[in-house]
Chain A
Amino acid sequence: MTGPESFREFARTLQSIFEGNEESLERFQRTSEIQLKTYLVESNTQIQQSRPPLGRWRSLDAPGWYTIDTGRAEDFLTVDAGGPIWRVFSLIEATRSDAVIGEWIANVRGLDRCWLSRAQLLHWAGQGEWTQRGVGIRFDDGLEPADRAGNFSMKAWHGDREVIPGIGKVIELAQQQLAVSSARWQRVSGGRTRLLAETYSDGKITFNRAEDVDEVMNFSQALADDYRERINRANSLRNNSLAPFEFEFAQEISLESFAETVGAGRGPMRLWLVETKQERDFRRFRGVDMHTWDRIYFDLTPRYGCLTVPGKGCVNAAPRIAAIQGEDNAGKTRVLADGVDLFA
C-alpha cells in the first residue's frame, strides 16, 4: 500500500509533517518536509465510478475518505469525497502534484476545479487573527498577439515589514485593475503562527505552515463549504428564472479578438463558440464549454457580459470563466446572478 492505512494514520502523517517543518524553521530558517497541497474539486460524479489520478482507490475507515495505492511511497494522496466539493490532500512533490491533479480533472467527466473569486481569495481580510501576507496578480492579455500583449504577473509574498516604501501602493493599484490569482494568509494567535497558507484561484491551497492538522482541515473545509453554498445558490437562480449571470470586466476586451479566439477553441478559456449576432460593440455567441462540453450562451460588450448555462449544465462555468477570463484578458472581473455578487 502507498497511502495511509487509516484515517488516523493520515491525520498523524500530516501532523508529523507540520511539526517537522516547524522544527526545521526554528533551527534552519527553512522547511524540510514537503508542503501539503489541498485541491478543491467540484464533483458531479461518484468517486468509486471515477478513475483515480494514480493507481487504485482504496477507502479509508471514515465515510467518504479514500486514498490511492500505486506502490510508490511518494504518491501520498487522500481524498475527502463526502460531499459535492471534494478535498484532495496531496503530499506529492509540488510540480508533479499539479500536473497529476490537472490531468485528472481535465479528463474525468464530472470533475472541475473550484474557481475561487477575488472575494473568496481575500475572504479573511479584516478578520481577527488573520493577516494577508501576499497577493498574486495576473493578466496575460491573451487576446492580443504575443508581441503586442501587455501581460503582467506578480506574486508578492511579504512579511510584516514594508521593506520598500510605497510598494504596498503598487500592489494595491495592480489589485484594483487586474485579476487576483492567489493570496497568502497567516493566522497568529497567542504570539504563534497557527497557519500560513496560499490560496489560488483554481482551487488549490498550499499549506506552508500549520501548528495543527485541525487548522488545515478547518481552513479547507470552510472554503469548500462556502463554495458549495455559492454553487447551490447559483443553481437555484439558474433553475428558477431565465436571468443570466452578469460579468463586469475591468479591462476592455476586443470583441473581434475574442470571436476569433473562441471560434477556434483557443486559449485557456476553452470555449468553442459561434457568433450568432453582431451589433456595434455587442456580440452574441452560442456554443460549448470544452471543460465540460455543456452548452453555453454568451453575450458580450467590451466591458460587460451575460452568460447563460442552459439545461442541466454545470453553473461552475460562471466562476470558471470569470477566473480564467479575468486572468487571461479581462482583468478584475465581477460575477452577479440576479443582482447578487454570488462569488464575492
Chain B
Amino acid sequence: MSVQQQFDGHWFVTIQPLPRIDERIPLNDLLTRVQRAGVMLRGWDYPHIDNNTRNLDGAIENTTDWREYHERWRFSTSGFFAHRWRMREDGIPERVGTLDFINAIWSMTEIFVFSSRLYGEDPTVEQVTVSLELDGLRDRRLTSSPEYWINVRHLPTEDTFRREATLNRASLLADALVTPGRWAQALFHVMGAPGLTEETVRSHQQRLIERRFG
C-alpha cells in the first residue's frame, strides 16, 4: 500500500444549537447566516463557501473539491451545522501522513469562533454543543516548523480522536479560545507530544486571532 493510500484522514465537526427548533432559521437566510459568521483570518476561510450551494429539504449543502481542499458542509433550518473535510496534509505529496500542530490549533479555534458568531447573539439559543472527530490518526506524525519545534515521542496508536462540549451562549462568546485550546492539548497528547503547554497553545491561538503569520 502506498503512503498515499495508507493515509486518508478527516475532520468531522457538528454544531448543535439547543433547544432544538426545527424552523429556527428561514431557508432563504441559511447561506447569508454562514457568510456573516465565516472566519477569514488566514488564507482559507472557515467554512469555505464555494459557488455550488445546493438546496436540500430543510437545509443547504456546499462542496469544495480542489487541490488539497476537499470538504463538504451542511446547514439546516434547525441551525444544525455539520462539516467534514479531508486533512489537507494528505493532499500535499510531501506532507501525506502528517498533521501540522499549528494548523490543528488554528482549525479548532476557527470552529469555535465560527460557532460563537453563528449563535452568540441568537436569543433562541440557550446552549451550543460542538463536537469534533479526527479520524485517520494511527501512525500519523505530528509536525511543526523549525521556528516552533516540538518533541514527538511516539506515533498515535488510536485512529480516532473525539471531543464534545456544551457551552451556554455567554461562555461561547467569552471563551471561544479555551475549549479548543484544551482539545488541542489533548490531541497532541494522543499524538505523542504531551509537553505542549496551555501557554504555547494559547500563544498560537492569539497569533491567528491577531493575524500574525510572520
The answer to whether A and B assemble together is no
Q: Which residues of chain A have a CB within 8 Å of any CB of chain B?
A: none
Q: Which residues of chain B have a CB within 8 Å of any CB of chain A?
A: none
